[in-house]
Amino acid sequence: MIYQFKGVMKVYNILFLLLLLIPLVGWAKEAIPVAEDPEVEKRMLALTMDLRCLVCQNEPISDSRAEFSNDIRREIREQIKADKSDEEIVQFLVDRYGDFILYNPPMKSTTLLLWFGPIALFVIALGALIVHLRRRRVQVKEIALSPEQLARAEALLNEEKKGKKV
Amino acid sequence: MMRYLIPLFAFMVLAAFLLVGLTLNPRQVPSPLIDKPAPKFRLNQLHEPDRIMSSDDNLGKVWMLNVWASWCVACRDEHPLLVQLAKSGIVPIYGLNYKDERSTALQWLKRYGDPYAISIVDTDGKVGIDYGVYGVPETYVIDKNGIIRHKQIGPVTVESLERTIIPLIKELQQQA
């Protein structure tokens, strides 16, 4: 009786384990072609890699699945098909969304600090380091010892050595 | 003394920068369209699909363009204010129904009230791109010459209406 019961359990266990495998099958589907024209897609990707998704601001449009990025990608595809140059497309977007959409900001009077700020900080830090090192060199100037002082120092050191041995 | 004061001073400068940074909103991207002509559009109307509205129809008056959608939760927050503003008759509000479905959009207006003189339909978001829309709701104030004078990103609030939008509209209406 007990044996039989165990057998039933085993069948259920196996069935249960099989059920756990179902998600692994993952109902595969055939991939939908991203775009009819791989050339257009390549150019679009190259362009959108340097464009900021304004909704998810730390993600480029090429990586983002936001609705906004979908729209911009579609717009860029259409413009590429309409034979617009890369510069024209980027300008089109900057006209509407501002320089903020560019990950690579142009050099302008308003972006000077952005471009040269780090260099300026580095120069200031370097200057401070040089000044500091110079001052320290003055502080640790070598002091010349007289022969008597040297002899005393040696005697003291010898004493200490002896003391340690004891 | 100086060796302690210099780091303290440097820290205070840094803290001041960070403090100012806390009050800034990275979502508020200044629009390059301010003081530029409002992008032109010709779109079908929401209520009467076979009628078209053109942006040129509004030349000669100050108007507001409010980008909204029935799927937009924040639009519900600002909507009572828009209804109130429309009732006051200070300024006509036009609605750009952004990437929405006609039937749900109409239902939404029925439920929450319709402040719009005309709502126009931007199904694929093309006009939205022209206006630099990246988050709904957004609201534009456009003057008599068709120039964008103000853009409100995110819901309109009592404060933004009283402090900025209404004074600006009154000022623009004085102009020839």
Q: Tell me, what's the pLDDT at A16?
A: 87
Expressed as residue numbers, the domain containing A91 is: 38-106
**Model-level ipTM above the cut of 0.85:** no
| Cα dihedral A33, A36, A42, A46 sign | negative
Instruction: For residue range A110-124, list pLDDT tens digits in order.
Output: 888 888 999 999 999
Q: Are residues A74 and A101 in the same domain?
A: yes
Q: Tell me, what's the pLDDT at B123?
A: 92
Q: Dihedral angle at the C-alpha atoms of A153, A156, A158, A162, nearest 10 degrees?
A: -170
- Whether B154 is in a domain gets the answer yes
- Is the confidence at residue A34, as pLDDT, over 70? no
Expressed as residue numbers, the domain containing B82 is: 30-174
Can you list the residues of chain B whose pLDDT is less than 70? none
Q: Is A93 exposed, middle or buried (0-12, 13-18, 19+ CB in 10 A)?
A: buried
Report chain B residues whose CB lies below 8 A from the CB of A67. 99
Q: Which of A74, A78, A97, A129 to mutate to test the interface with B (most CBs of B within 10 A)?
A: A97
CB B53 within 8 A of CB B42: yes
B97 near A CB under 8 A: no
Q: Which of A92, A96, A101 to mutate to test the interface with B (most CBs of B within 10 A)?
A: A96
Q: What whole-number distance in Å separates Cα of residue B138 and Cα of residue B157?
A: 12
- Tokens at residue B80, please? 């009572």
- Tokens at residue A152, please? 């005393």
Q: Tell me, what's the pLDDT at A31?
A: 57
**Partner-chain residue, chosen from B26, B99, B129, that has the shortest CB–CB distance to A96:** B129
Q: Tell me, what's the pLDDT at B24?
A: 85
Looking at the complex, report in whole angstroms how far the Cα of residue A38 sits from the nearest Cα belonging to chain B: 23
- Write the CATH number for A75: 1.10.8.640
- Write the CATH number for B108: 3.40.30.10
- Is the confidence at residue A3, as pLDDT, over 60? no
Q: Tell me, what's the pLDDT at A21?
A: 78
B130 near A CB under 8 A: yes
Cβ of B129 and A100 within 8 Å? Answer: no
B135 near A CB under 8 A: yes
- Whether A88 is in a domain gets the answer yes
A91 three-class SS: helix
Count other Cβ atoms within 10 Å, centred on residue B32.
16
Band the pLDDT of A77: cuts 50, 70, 90: very high
Report the domain count for chain B.
1
- Computed over every residue of chain A, the mean pLDDT equals 84
Q: Are residues A156 and A131 in the same domain?
A: yes
Looking at the complex, report in whole angstroms how far the Cα of residue A117 sits from the nearest Cα belonging to chain B: 14
Q: Tell me, what's the pLDDT at A57?
A: 84
Q: Are residues A128 and A116 in the same domain?
A: yes
Q: Tell me, what's the pLDDT at A24?
A: 63
Band the pLDDT of A14: cuts 50, 70, 90: confident
